Chains A and B, each alone.
Chain A
């Protein structure tokens, strides 16, 4: 397990006061907000900042963390000095017993906003209560948890089963609740669209004192965000040159299953053929979307048996009248 230096993550000194920590958090939050920062690693960076802030902004958690932070720093210095004395490079990683003396008496936490992307370090330090919950604890419902689930638009057309990892509080062997990572298999309902939430009753955090478990909410996002606002679905339609030129009925596999399409004669590369009502299914008063098939003309390689001869015949027959770099191709 890797030690997390939350002061370094936040860019503050180890003796920074609460106001300085909050200011640093806001500075990072503005820079890394997913609506403002489109970079791929912004989400992971924000999760690290959230994790650091979750610990440093909570008095009990910060006090417990400061103990291991000091010990870790001392052990690291000692290890580096010993390695330098022996003429060897310092070994990376954690010095042996840095967790010794760690004491956290607060409630177990799954982390800010459900702790998506939080480290194992956080879970092992703060995901477990120090004492078992009293037997006469008042029943309390567990917290609802939220996870973003990124799927392909095709999963929404045909429905699919997808795996979801969720961090939540669950009962442990000692009768306490502890943060655990669970992998769930979830049915993606046909027709679901980006921005919708799927509610899984009782799959959130465990309750206290026999209280009911909370719910789990999955927020759906599409991998291709361009598709999020439309119920139409764009899929490629690969065609052989003769299929595109002569036209006819072709069969292709789409997320909605096998479909038969009538290709008009002289269909150019890039043309879109629309199959009405074959996209995302109708929902909440909105009509079903369309399946839009974009033609991709695939050339057979000349190395295929007979292909070279066929191209030569074609070149001799139409080469005089076909000029692909002159507008429409024919003159």
Chain B
């Protein structure tokens, strides 16, 4: 029988920029560009000490998927993600 694996909730142990890049399968520059453009935010810290939690991981992966699947530029992808997040918020309030 398999051992039971115990993980960590990434909101309890947040990710560094490099860890977030690995989790998204991109290099850190890709994330830095979107952070500087205000399309993605960190949950705490500044500069090299920026930390990221579940919402940022989810958003970064969505941005990447939309940019790749639709050849969208980063601003347009961020607009689509903003709208998707708004739809989710409105649906869950019903």
Chain A complexes with chain B: yes
Q: Is the CB of B69 within 8 A of A218?
A: no
Q: Known contacts A186-B4, A199-B7: does B69 contact A29 (CB below 8 Å)?
A: yes
Q: Report how far A218 CA is from B65 CA in the complex, Å.
A: 18
Distance (whole angstroms) from the CB of B3 to the closest CB of chain A? 7
Query: Which residues, 42 to 67 on B, are CB-close (under 8 Å) to A?
Result: 54-55, 57-58, 61, 65
> Within the assembled complex, what's the spacing in Å between the Cα atoms of A161 and B3?
11
B45 to chain A, nearest CB (A): 16
Residue of B nearest to A144 (CB): B23
Q: How far is the CA of A217 from the CA of B5 in the complex (A)?
A: 12
A198 within 8 A of B: yes
Q: Which residues of B contact A284 (CB under 8 A)?
A: 11
Contact with B along A169-206 (1 / 0, CB 8 A): 00000000000000111110100100111111101000
Point out the residues of chain B lying under 8 angstroms from A195, CB to CB.
54-55, 58
**Chain A residues closer than 8 Å to B91, beta-carbon distance:** 225
| Alpha-carbon gap, A35 to B57, bound state (A) | 17
Q: Evaluate whether A229 and B25 lie within 8 angstroms (CB atoms) in the complex, with A26-B69, A186-B7 already known.
A: no
CA distance A174 to B49 in the complex (A): 42
Closest Cβ neighbor of B81 among chain A residues:
A35
Interface string of A197-225 (1 = CB under 8 A from B): 11111010000000000111111000001
B94 vs chain A, min Cβ distance (A): 8
A196 CA to B1 CA, complexed, in Å: 27
Query: Does the CB pair A214–B11 fall under 8 Å?
Result: no
Say which size band chain A's interface belongs to.
Answer: 35 or more
State whether the Cβ of A157 lies closer than 8 Å to any Cβ in chain B.
no
Q: Within A262-295, which residues are at the interface with B (CB < 8 Å)?
A: 283-284
Residues of B within 8 A of A144 (CB): 22-23, 25
Are B4 and A200 in contact (CB-based, < 8 A)?
no
Which residues of B3-17 are within 8 A (CB) of A?
3-11, 13
Contacts of B13 in A (CB 8 A): 199
With A22-B71, A198-B7 given, name 20 new contacts (CB 8 A). Answer: A29-B69, A143-B25, A146-B23, A161-B4, A183-B2, A184-B2, A184-B5, A185-B3, A186-B4, A186-B7, A187-B6, A189-B9, A192-B9, A195-B54, A196-B11, A196-B54, A198-B10, A199-B13, A283-B11, A284-B11
Provide 25 A-B residue pairs closer than 8 Å at the C-beta atoms, listed in order of the A residue: A26-B69, A35-B87, A113-B65, A141-B22, A144-B22, A144-B25, A146-B23, A146-B61, A184-B2, A184-B5, A185-B1, A186-B4, A187-B6, A189-B7, A192-B9, A196-B54, A197-B9, A197-B54, A198-B7, A198-B8, A215-B23, A217-B23, A225-B91, A283-B11, A284-B11
